Structure 1
Amino acid sequence: MSKEEIKIPKATLKRLPLYYRFVDTLYNSNVDRVSSKELSEGLQIDSATIRRDFSYFGELGKKGYGYNVAYLLNFFKTTLQQDMITKVAIIGVGNLGTALVNYNFTVSDRMKIEAAFDADPAVIGKHIGKIEVQDIERFEQIIEAQDIQIVILTVPGTAAQSLANRVTKSGIKGILNFTPERLTVPSGVHVHHIDLGIELQSLIFFMKNH
């Protein structure tokens, strides 16, 4: 069964990187096999959900045996294209943008911020680590030359939609949006919204009610 033959739920796809990181940790700890119960305990995801998620991709394990860790790792690496480096650009190099460039996805050596853009002349030309902040006017030229695949937006909300329009016209298919704006994009373009205010409100709610 392939992803082309059945529509994988978005919730399942969002959990795949969690599975990958956990299985990678097991592999590096010389663990040979793991059960859905052990995966459940380690990830805090119920085992029925894990088994259902895995079932979309065929027989990944055997009843009574569990899952071969090396096989799972290779599967997730291939499924998530972790054997390829995903190149990322960031637009908006204020405090948050600078922090993200400095962090530069050290959680994974398969994703890397390769370019940073801003419209402020006081910021353009500055270096954050090894990355020089480029003028946004050079955006299309640079992302094509560097084969950028994903863009992170950390700009004021008032500029978010116009920049999203520009980003999608350039052929970018993935946007990670740190602005409070809900972006309108063409079909085929995927946007993940990261609203820190909402995340904090949710955290406070759960702290008070659990």
Structure 2
Amino acid sequence: MGEEKIPQATAKRLPLYYRHLNTLYQQGKQRISSKELSEAVKVDSATIRKDFSYFGELGRKGYGYDIQHLIQFFRNILDQHEVSKVALVGVGNLGTALLHYNFMKNDNTQIEIAFDSNADKVGKEIAGIPIYHIDDLEKEINRTGINLAILTVPAHVSQQVAETLVEAGVQGILNFTPSRLDVPDDVRVHHIDLSIELQSLIYLLKN
């Protein structure tokens, strides 16, 4: 079954499985059952088996899964042998924090370049990442061939910036702004609203 048929919920869980299996492999463990993996990643074993079923026969009954085989498999699926380069647009408080963090726990995703309109920031570097003027966004995205972007701009310019990103060839946007973005169907947007995440967490704690 082709990768494009994988449900989004499954795709979101793959990096979780991959990270955990890597840790186990480094600890010298060679195989794991769906029940053990379930307890470790807090996903029920039926869901894990369903997720894995999209990729054919990965394990066998009574033996479980060969960890090294799974890791190699997920590495190919997730393109973990290649570094995904990311652009960050909006070097405010959150953008600056993300530049300093820069996915240090994951060598396969790297913010390469940042954009802002603030003259005090343009031309400087934060954590080794160069900051360009937002007017140069299309030119620099084209030059670097980056197709992923993190959006941490003020809400009132988010749609306009998203359109420029799409025109420059960006295919995936991680949107930290409260705005819902209107983009073509072939561009993926993941919305991250910290206040909504917190409110849902509070609700779960209370109930």
- Fold in common (TM above 0.5): yes
Separation (CA, whole Å) in 1 of partners of 2:3 and 2:121: 43
Residue pairs, 1:58-207, within 5 angstroms: 58-207=56-205
Unaligned residue ranges in structure 1 (runs of 5+): none
Q: Which runs of 4+ in 1 moved over 6 A?
A: none
Aligned length: 207
Cα root mean square deviation, aligned: 1.0
Please state how far the C-alpha of 1:171 moved relative to its aligned partner. Answer: 0.8
Please state how far the C-alpha of 1:3 moved relative to its aligned partner. Answer: 2.5
Tell me the equivalent position of 1:33: 31
Aligned letter for 1:2?
G
Q: What is the TM-score with the length of structure 1 in the denominator? A: 0.96
Tell me the equivalent position of 1:22: 20
Deviations 1:4-41 (A, max 9, x none): 5xx21111111111111111111111110000000000
Separation (CA, whole Å) in 2 of partners of 1:126 and 1:199: 33
Separation (CA, whole Å) in 2 of partners of 1:208 and 1:72: 38
Aligned letter for 2:30?
D
SS of 2:137's equivalent in the other structure is helix
Tell me the equivalent position of 2:3: 3
Aligned letter for 2:109?
M
SS of 1:89's equivalent in the other structure is strand
SS of 1:107's equivalent in the other structure is coil
Q: What is the TM-score with the length of structure 2 in the denominator? A: 0.97
Unaligned residue ranges in structure 2 (runs of 5+): none
